[in-house]
Amino acid sequence: MTSSTDFHKLSEDCVRRFLHSVVAVDDNMSFGAGSDTFPTDEDINALVDPDDDPTPIITASASPRIESTKSKAKVKNHPFDYQALAEAFAKDGIACCGLLAKSFNVEERDIITASSHKADITILDWDMQSDSGQFAIEIIKSIIVSDINSGGRLRLLSIYTGEHVTAVITKLNNELKKTYRSVIKNDDSIFIEDNYALEQWCIVVISKDVYEKDLPNVLIKKFTNLTAGLLSNAALSCISEIREKTHGILTKYNNKLDTAYVSHILNLIKSKESRAYAYENAHDYAVDLISEEIRSILQISENLKKSLSKNSLSHWPIFHYAENGCKNFLLTGKKQKDLSVEHLRNILSADSLEEIQHAIEHASLGKKEYLSQDGEEDKKLMQLCSLEITRRSLRYHSHIDNVSLKQGTLLLDAYNFVYLCIQPLCDSVRLHEKADFLFLRGTLDDNNYNLLIEDEYGGFYKIKMPAKASNIISFSFGVENGNGVIIGKKNNLVNTDYISFVPLLVEKISTPKVLKWIGEIKTTYAQKITTDIVANLSRIGLDQHEWLRIKSKDI
C-alpha cells in the first residue's frame, strides 16, 4: 500500500471505532429475507380465487417469466431489507435503528429529525409513497435547520434509492440551492459552502444496486473521506474512548455515592461564607471530578496515541498531498519556498537526532516558518490558535441567549476597545445589588495582536492586549435579584440581537455604554495574563553601577 492508502486505512479504523448509531428511514422496509415487498392493496385485490380459475400448469418455459415479473416488482417497489443492514452494521458494533415511514406528516418528520440528531449517520429513502422525493427533501431541510440552531455539526446523510442517482442528486441540489450555496462533487455527493454550521455536511446518494449488507462499508468510507486528518482522527479517538469507557465511569461514579455527595453540599450549606452558593459550588465540584476522570482516560488511551503516532504522521504528507490536488507544500516566513512531500515525510519519520538534523538541513527548514499549501493564507493557523485559548466564541455559541460575567470574558465597545475580565473567579459570584469588575483594556489591531477569537462570520477578532497595569479599568454592574452573578443577555436594556452587558451609568454620561459579548478565553490563559500584570507591578528599579549591571546580564 502507498502511504496515502495507509493513512486512509488508519483514519478508517478511527471511524469504525467512533461510529455508534445509525438511523434508516424507508416506507418499504422488511425484516429479513422473505417476500420482496410488503403486499399493497392493489396486490391483494388482484388475487384470484382458486375456485374461480383453473390451476395453471407451470411449465419450464413459464418459470423464467414468473422470475422476471418478481424482479420487476422488486425494482419498481425498491424494498429495503432492514435486517441485512442492521446485521452488517452490528459486525462493527454499530447500532442501526429502522423507522418505517407511514404518515408522511409534520409529526413524523420531526420524529425522524429528533432521531437523526443523536445518530452518527442518517439513511433516507428517496421516493416514499411515490412522492418523487418530497418527503425526503422536507426531512433534510428540517435536519439542516436543527443543525444550524444547535451551532453546526459534522453530518453524513445518505439517500439510499432505487431511482437514478443523477436524477435524484440533481433535483435535491436544485432544491437546496434555493436557500444555500450547495455544490455537487464526485457525481454522488452534495456539500453546502456558504454556512459555517454546515461546512462539515455531506449528503451522498447511493443506488440500491448496492446491497444492504454492503452499505455499511460504503458509508464508513464516505465518513472517512469527511474526517481523515490528524486532529480529526485524534478527536474521533477521544470520543470513541469516552464512549467505550462510559459504563466504566458510571460504575465508578454510581448512585451509592449520593450520600457522600449530599454530605458535601450540607457542609457547604452549614458554612455562612458558602451557604448562598452551595449548590453552584457543589456543581463545580462534580464537574471537576468527572472531567478529570475523563482526562485521565484520554491521557493513557492507546488508540489516541496511535492516531497521532510517528507512523501516522509519516503517512500524512503523501495522503494530504494526494487529497488536495497534488499541490506542493510551502514554507512561509520572511519569504516563501517549496517543501517537497519527500522532505516533509523525511522530517516527520526520522528516528535519531542525527537523522532529524540531516532532514531539516536537507529541507532548508528555518525558524519562524509555517506550513501551508498552494500559498494559502495563515487562517488555519489563526483558527487553531483561537481554538487553543477559546472557551466559548460567537462562531460556535451564537445560539445561546445569556452568559455570566467572569474571568476570561471578552467584551467589545462601539469604539473597537476590547475588555478582558480579570476579576478573580471567587469575586464573580455571591454578589449583591452592585459589583465592580476589573478589566484589562485592549484594542482591535489587524497587524499586532496577541489574542485571537473567532467571530460569528468565520473571521477573527484580532486583539492587542498588553499586560500593563495602566490598561486596567473598572466597570460597575447591577446584580439581578437572586442571581448573585452579572448576566449578559440579548436585548439587555438596549435593543440588540447579540448578548451584551450594560455597566451602570457614571456621572456626566447620559447614554448607556453597551459592551458586546464576543467570547470567553480559557481560565488558565486569563490567569496567565493577570500574572503577567502582577509581575510587571512587582519589578524593582535600582540605581546600580553600570559596569556591574552590564556584567550581570551574562550570568
pLDDT tens figures, 436-492: 999 999 999 999 999 999 998 889 999 999 999 899 999 999 887 666 789 888 865
pLDDT tens figures, 509-529: 555 688 999 999 999 999 999
The distance in angstroms from the start CA to the end CA of the chain is 55
Other beta carbons within 10 Å of 254? 9
Closest by alpha carbon to 126, among 114, 115, 138, 118?
138
Q: The CATH number of 3-53+71-228 is which of 3.30.360.10, 3.40.50.280, 3.40.640.10, 3.30.1330.200?
A: 3.40.50.280
Name the pLDDT band for 45 (thresholds 50, 70, 90). Answer: low
pLDDT at 37 over 80: no
Domain ranges of the chain: 3-53+71-228, 232-307, 383-537
pLDDT tens figures, 122-174: 999 999 989 999 999 999 999 999 998 888 899 999 999 999 999 999 999 99
The C-alpha atoms of residue 175 and residue 389 are separated, in whole angstroms, by: 40
pLDDT score, position 41: 55
Closest by alpha carbon to 461, among 416, 421, 499?
416
Q: What is the pTM of this model?
A: 0.81
The C-alpha atoms of residue 278 and residue 271 are separated, in whole angstroms, by: 9
Closest by alpha carbon to 319, among 15, 56, 2?
2
Beta bridge pairs of residue 410:
420, 519
pLDDT at 61 over 60: no
pLDDT score, position 493: 57
